[in-house]
Amino acid sequence: EAGVAQSPRYKIIEKRQSVAFWCNPISGHATLYWYQQILGQGPKLLIQFQNNGVVDDSQLPKDRFSAERLKGVDSTLKIQPAKLEDSAVYLCASSFGASGAYEQYFGPGTRLTVT
């Protein structure tokens, strides 16, 4: 079974530029998550999708971050414009269901450096 795929693996941009990350979840997983992990901290949930609908985006900085999951499969996370404090690893995860009863499978992450 293929795991969660993410691209790119690494990205370096200057502040005020825009960037997009892509995630392909495990086939059949209805729930998709995007997390931000800043160095030295644990992952922080940004947004959760159930199929192609947003379940929770309360911790997404909506003035600069956006995400979509068209057709309920792949997802993209965009930052525009980027700030220095956005430097982090962005993790995508998927699961069969939305609660803690379901195991989340994580991708390898995209390491973003904003200079």
Partner 1 sequence: DQQVKQNSPSLSVQEGRISILNCDYTNSMFDYFLWYKKYPAEGPTFLISISSIKDKNEDGRFTVFLNKSAKHLSLHIVPSQPGDSAVYFCAANAGNQFYFGTGTSLTVIP
Binding residues (CB under 8 A) for partner 1: these are 4, 33, 40-45, 48, 55-56, 58, 91, 93, 98-101, 103-109
Q: How far is the CB of 64 from partner 1 (least distance, A)?
A: 21
Q: How far is the CB of 85 from partner 1 (least distance, A)?
A: 17
31-48 burial, b if ≥16 CB within 10 A, otherwise e? bbbbbbeeeeeebebbbb
- Nearer to partner 1 among residue 19 and residue 91 (C-beta): 91
- Nearer to partner 1 among residue 19 and residue 94 (C-beta): 94
- Nearer to partner 1 among residue 70 and residue 101 (C-beta): 101
Residues 6+ apart with CB under 8 A from 102: 31, 95, 96
Report the distance separating Cα 97 and Cα 94, nearest Å: 9
Report the distance separating Cα 53 and Cα 51, nearest Å: 6
Q: How far is the CB of 110 from partner 1 (least distance, A)?
A: 10
